[in-house]
Amino acid sequence: MGACNTKNGRPQPHDMEPQSGSGSSTGEAGDMVGQKVSGRPVINQSSLVLNNPGKIRDVYNIEDKKIGEGTYGQVCRGIHKSTKAKRAIKIISKAQMKNVRRFREEIEIMKMMDHPNIIKLFESFEDNKNIYLAMELCAGGELFDRIIEAGHLSEKSAAVVTQQILKAIFYMHERSISHRDLKPENFLFLTKDALDKSILKIIDFGLSCRFEPGRYMSTRAGTPFYVAPQVLMGRYDHTCDLWSTGVIMYILLCGYPPFYGRSDQEVLAKVKRGVFAFDDKEWKDVSADAKNLIRGLLRMNPKERITAEKALTHEWITKTAPRAVDVSLKTNPTLMDNLRNFRMQNKLKKAALHIIAGQLDESQIKGLRETFTALDENSDGFLTMEELKIGLEKAGLKKSKTDTDLQKIVEGMDVDGSGRIDYTEFIAAALDKRSYLSENACWTAFKVFDLDGDGRISLSELTKVLAEEENGVDTASAKELLKGVDLNGDGMIDFQEFMAMMKGSKGTEAAADSTSPSKRSPRRSFLSPRRGGA
């Protein structure tokens, strides 16, 4: 039996789009995304993803060949003209878009997402006809296609995939985001490596929304095979994502869905009943632990449905999927020094490093990603001081004499003031100088602050970018920060001064030398008459 239904074994695209009058697709609950630590200046991660006012074709060479297509647009491969970074460019037609405001909200949710198993948005562009998203390029293909190729997966491969899905869901739910359309087509592999070595990414946040615990959602959203019964009834919560995960896990292990029918109506009728079975022909060699987890995910009563956090500690996951080991920590002996040095940097440099870390390709941060995963003991996509302490002690890297010292290091890394370390915050703090001192990388960061594209950062621009949150930098603090970087005293930060700050140089001579071999303006040096990130 094929993996799903009809056309080429792929479900027909009858996604249950949000309907007017059935509840807002994003406004079902207030914005509950993270409480900030009061009294400390913070940097809002979303403000560091560039909304680019320039023309996308001034920044990217976009191939004509489509690598993906959806209801409202297409995806093509793009190469950044300055950095040569390869990106997936999603092109969405405004004319075909039912709700432009809704799509902008999707972008805002994507900006918030910061997890190894969630697609990364680098920057967005807009013109009269289209909205463009420059995203992480995943060359490994859809999870759906891997299932079609194999028929079904071994338990080890299925566990590796399911573990990555659950980690992303745990993270999203911790940030009060529900995806609401999880299905194999909405997962891409980063590379074509073997399943146990390839990184899986959740994509397409078109139906995602913020939720508030205890408050139900009502919009009928999802895809027939994977939708939870409560969604069909118009009264559900974020646990609908766990139901979809149960369906995906079932398909991974046998090659067909638990609720199968010849039409959408027949499928949905079976979903509403919620009755499924493990036929001996396909399931006799599958472990009892795997079946037990599927039963937990496909509980009809959402209150009895296993959470992502508990599913990650389920025996089938812990015994079958490989656990990150301490070896990745031991291969990075300078980690603690890098983390400690990051704490001493000014806020502008921290923000710049955060931008650079977010722009680096997987090949450039593979070791640091593995280190983060090894430290993240409960797999929620964040690091606490306790997790950092335990992980570093295990690896014999803890050089802090006191917990107070470690606490200061954690506070220094926590640039958004959430009280814990996000993925990119860790990468930014752990980066070696060689990774971030290239002019291309620093130019990308510089442009995020240079809002009007004139090649200089003004006080108002600095204040605007660094004061996006309630506890952000005020004008007086921004003025002091600018003064420390403005080496020629003209009240602006040019790229040479910015590079001097990144290098940790002192004096105008060092600043002038930072754009060697010549002292050209950043705009001529990068042959980029318009702004554009990497």
Tally of CB atoms within 10 A around 192: 10
Strands (DSSP E) contained in 41-129 are: 50-52, 60-69, 73-80, 86-93, 121-126
The structure tokens listed for 120 are 């990364």
Q: Is 246 exposed, middle or buried (0-12, 13-18, 19+ CB in 10 A)?
A: buried
User: Using CA of residue 194, residue 199, residue 205, residue 209, what is the dihedral sign?
Assistant: positive
Strands (DSSP E) contained in 53-176 are: 60-69, 73-80, 86-93, 121-126, 130-136
CA atoms within 13 A on the CB side of 160: 15
Tokens 């067909």 -> residue: 256
Which residue, 224, 244, 116, 225, is CA-closest to 180? 244
Which residue, 322, 285, 311, 45, is CA-closest to 169? 311
Cβ pair 512, 496 in contact under 8 A: yes
Name the CA dihedral angle for 315, 318, 320, 326, rounded to a multiple of 10 degrees.
-160
Estimate to the nearest angstrom the gap between the alpha carbon of 175 and the chain centroid.
12
Can you state the angle between helices 475-485 and 347-359, rounded to 10 degrees? 80
Question: What residues contact 350, with CB distance under 8 A and at least 6 apart?
Answer: 43, 342, 415, 428
Question: What residues contact 495, with CB distance under 8 A and at least 6 apart?
Answer: 442, 443, 446, 455, 515, 521, 522, 525
Taking the C-alpha atoms of residue 161 and residue 142, their distance in angstroms, rounded to an integer, is: 12
Annotated catalytic residues are 181
Cβ pair 265, 3 in contact under 8 A: no
Cβ pair 381, 34 in contact under 8 A: no
Q: Is 69 exposed, middle or buried (0-12, 13-18, 19+ CB in 10 A)?
A: exposed
Q: What DSSP letter does each residue of 202-244 carry, written as one string?
A: E---TT-EE--TT--B----B-TTT--HHHHHT-B-TTHHHHH
Which residue, 177, 172, 170, 166, is CA-closest to 200? 166
Taking the C-alpha atoms of residue 382 and residue 495, their distance in angstroms, rounded to an integer, is: 33
Question: What residues contact 295, with CB distance under 8 A and at least 6 apart?
Answer: none
